[in-house]
Amino acid sequence: MAVTRAPVAGSEQLQSIDLESLRDGGYLDMPIVEAAQELGMSLSALKGLAHEQGIQRWPYRSRQSIRALIEQTVQHIKGGSLGLHGAREEEALLEALQGDLEDVGAGRTPCLSSAIKRYRQWMFKLKHNRKKSPGSRMVVPRRVIAAFSR
């Protein structure tokens, strides 16, 4: 005698959610607990769904970090305090940051690239030096810029 299980409540909803609906709905830009509440599912169910879609880690914090980095970069570019050599380098840097933001949101990369980590560390250093001596100007090291062109 074969035993059949009753369908799990909400299983149709789980099957209809994919990576694009999570991204388009803005769920990747909120903490996982909040996203689970918005979707009306348990945290475990959302984690399982994320793993099925290829997302090893929930990208909220990584995406927030990249967004903050983009905002800081734009402010420094407007102020002329980054010391980049030309508009082409500025555009390449912003495009690389936007590209990493999309990669993290698409589940292609579970964490930030090494170039982003290096640039973020340099921005922390810039912020620290600004606190110590306001009005100082630092130039982005060539090795940091070169990491984005790879």
**Rg of the chain over all Cα atoms, to the nearest angstrom:** 20
The answer on pLDDT for 134 being more than 90 is no
Same domain, 44 and 66: no
Residue 117 in domain? yes
- Whether residues 70 and 46 fall in one domain: no
Q: What is the pLDDT of residues 47-93, one digit of tens each?
A: 999 888 888 889 899 889 899 999 988 888 887 766 666 777 788 88
Instruction: For residues 70 and 122, state if they share a domain.
Output: yes
28-59, pLDDT tens digit by residue?
Answer: 899 999 999 999 999 999 999 988 888 888 98
How many domains, in total, are found in the chain? Answer: 2
Token pair 């059949």 is found at 4
Domain-located, residue 2: no
Residue pair 101/66 in contact by the 8 Å Cβ criterion: yes
Give the C-alpha separation, 140 to 148, whole Å. 12
Instruction: Say if residue 104 is in the same domain as residue 35.
Output: no
CA atoms within 13 A on the CB side of 4: 2
Query: How high does pLDDT run on average in the chain?
Result: 79
Same domain, 90 and 130: yes
pTM for the predicted model, two decimal places:
0.73
My answer on whether 36 and 101 are in the same domain is no
- Cα–Cα distance for residue pair 53/90, rounded to 1 Å: 34
125 compared with 5, residue with greater pLDDT: 125
Domain hosting residue 101, numbered range: 60-148
Q: Please say whether the beta carbons of 45 and 13 come within 8 A.
A: no
Q: What is the pLDDT of residue 5?
A: 43
Domain check: are 83 and 142 in the same one?
yes
**By the 8 A CB rule, do 90 and 77 touch?**
yes
Does residue 139 belong to any structural domain of this protein?
yes
Residues 85 and 141 in one domain: yes
Q: How far apart are CA 13 and CA 62, in angstroms?
A: 27
Q: Is the pLDDT of residue 136 over 70?
A: no
Helix and strand numbers, DSSP H then E, in the chain: 8, 0
Judgement on whether residues 77 and 116 belong to the same structural domain of the protein: yes
